[in-house]
Structures are given as C-alpha cells and as structure tokens.
Amino acid sequence: MTIGTGLDDLCSADGGQAAAQTIVPDEQVVGVIGPSCSGAATAASPLGLRGRDGDDLGFEHVSGSDQDLAGTAGPNYHAGYYRTAHNDLYQGAAAANFALDVLGVGTAAAIHDGDPYTQGLAQAFANAFEAGGGTITGFTAVNKGDTDMVPVLTEVAAGGPELLFFPIFQPEGDFIIQQASQVPGLDSTTKMAADGLLNSNYMALAETEGMYFSGPDIRYGTNYNQSTGQTADAFLAAYNAEWGEDPAAPFWAHSYDATTLLLDAIAAASMTMAGRWSLTGLGCVSI
C-alpha cells in the first residue's frame, strides 16, 4: 500500500475540483484522505464518487475536517463520502449558547466569506442565537482576498452588537481582528471566531488576546485509536519529536482517525472487475 503525494485543495471549490481531476484518472487510487475544507469538498466529492469512465467505481473520500452543514444531506449525499469531523449545526448552536448563557450577551452580529463552511456556520450560529432569545443585529460577508475590512466592520458597528462572530479563515480573519480597533463602536465588542482560525499562527496575533473560539475539544489524553492502539498523548509526543512542535490546527485527531478508517477498509477489501478495488469495509464501520 502506498500513500501518494499530497495535493493542496486550496480550501476552495476550484482547488478541490482541480485536485480531484488530478486523482480521478489514476486507477491505482482507491481512497483519499480529504478534502480539508467544505468548499473544496463540495466540488471534489462528486467527481471522485462519480467514478471513472462514467461508472460508479470512484474512490472513497474520508475527510477529517469537512464540517459543512449540508455536505452530506439531500442531493449532496454520496455513498462513499465519509467524514470524522462534526457537523457545524452543532458548533453553531454551541457557540450561540455559550454567547447567551456564559458571556451573557443579548445582541450579536456575524460575518462570513461566502464559503459553505463560513456561511453555514455563521447561519447556524445566527439561527441558534435567535432561537435562544438573542437578537442578530447584522449578518454580512466579506470576499476572499479582501484586505480592507473597515467598511464591513463599520456596517457591523452601526448595529451595536455586544458580540461579533466571524467563523472565517486567514488571512481575512487577521485583517478583521487587526482593523476592528480602528472602527468606533467595536472597541468593547466581544470577538468570537471558530475552528477555521483556531490555530497557533492566528492566536499569535496580539489583537486576538481576549477572543473566544468555538471548535472541537482536543483534550483527548489517553483516548486511543482502536485500530492502532495509539493514544492521543503518545501521538502528540511522537509528532512533536518528529516536527519540533504540536500540530498547528485542531483536526489532527480527526484526520488520524480518518486515515485509519480508510486503511482498515483497504485491508478488508477485495479485488474485483479487472483489477479494480471494491471497498466494503467503510460501510460497516460505525463512528
């Protein structure tokens, strides 16, 4: 069994489609770990699952970080696409409940960038916040690639929110938090982001001090993977020994589990139809 060179899905629909189109012609590929983001998954998963030569013998996807609300629902459901990360319906509700019940705020605004992950999570937050008795004072978007966030932040400030929720990515998230202090009315507004910005690079920014983040609880400790027997603590120690630092982003455990699920399925697979693999193990795995 060989693991090929990783492809960058650029966390975008175009990047996901390009990566999938690179993989599809290679009939030696039976499974893919990824895509890494919901935007990439939306474009990539149908290509791989549609199969080669118009048949239904594409490759299996197991994503460790795709959280799109509708990513596996209704017309977006594809047999053979799996994910080990949570659905953002739960993250949006958790963030909203924390804002209402723990922070005690009654008004909030949300910013997304049009990506399925960011827009879906912002909407899930807004829906849950209103359902809990809060008021959404603004729901708006920036564009990927924007650097001047003052206009959209000024729009948000006009509503006077007690909390600003912006579940987006870098570098746009950098510009938002760095420029928020320039906008009158936002200096005392509580800032909250999500797991798209829950990484060491972002939290190294001085302006992020005092922010709140939603995301997976990564205190796995002695939890272990049933396939390898590896505990989270042992994995982190080995990773740190190899790379000199802990994983920068929070979905390392989800990706580890995604990889072992796929490898177990390949080990249990059988060769069919002129040498093509038929993976039967994943459909029998319960998570």
**pLDDT tens digits along 80-110:** 778 888 888 899 999 999 999 999 999 999 9
Same domain for 99 and 73:
no
Same domain for 107 and 52:
no
| Among 167, 194, 213, residue at a domain's last position | 213
* Residue 270 covered by a domain: yes
| Residue keyed to tokens 């890494």 | 36
Give the three-state DSSP class for 183. Answer: coil
Give the three-state DSSP class for 226. Answer: coil
Residue 233: predicted pLDDT: 93
| Residue keyed to tokens 């027997």 | 229
Token pair, residue 92, equals: 């949006």
Cα–Cα distances in angstroms (integers) from residue 276 to residues 232, 266, 272, in the given order: 35, 12, 5
The counts of H helices and E strands in the chain are 9, 10
| Among 192, 213, 234, residue at a domain's last position | 213
Same domain for 100 and 51:
no
Same domain for 126 and 151:
yes
Bridge partner list, 271: 277
Same domain for 189 and 139:
yes
pLDDT, mean over the chain: 84
**Mean pLDDT, range 115-143, rounded to an integer:** 96
CB 103 within 8 A of CB 163: yes
| Residue keyed to tokens 């005690």 | 104
Tens digit of pLDDT for each residue in 157-198?
A: 999 999 999 999 999 999 999 999 999 999 999 999 999 999
User: Is residue 26 packed enough to be buried (19+ CB in 10 Å), middle (13-18) or exposed (0-12)?
Assistant: exposed
| Cα–chain center distance at 46 | 18
Same domain for 29 and 64:
yes
* Residue 227 covered by a domain: no
State the chain's maximal CA–CA distance in angstroms. 67
DSSP classification of residue 224 = B
Same domain for 273 and 177:
no
Phi, psi of 58 (to 5 degrees): -75, -165
Pick 120 or 74 by higher pLDDT.
120
Same domain for 95 and 77:
no
State the CATH number of the domain containing residue 116. Answer: 3.40.50.2300
- Domain membership of residue 192 as a residue range: 88-213
Domain count, the chain: 2
* Spatial separation of the C-alpha atoms in residues 224 and 227, rounded to whole Å: 9
> ω before 35 within 30° of 0 (cis)?
yes
| % pLDDT > 70, the chain | 83
Same domain for 92 and 209:
yes
| Residue keyed to tokens 């489609």 | 17
In 3D, which of 52, 4, 61 has the Cα closest to residue 32? Answer: 61
| Among 183, 213, 243, residue at a domain's last position | 213
Same domain for 160 and 181:
yes
Same domain for 134 and 29:
no
* Residue 188 covered by a domain: yes
Same domain for 196 and 113:
yes
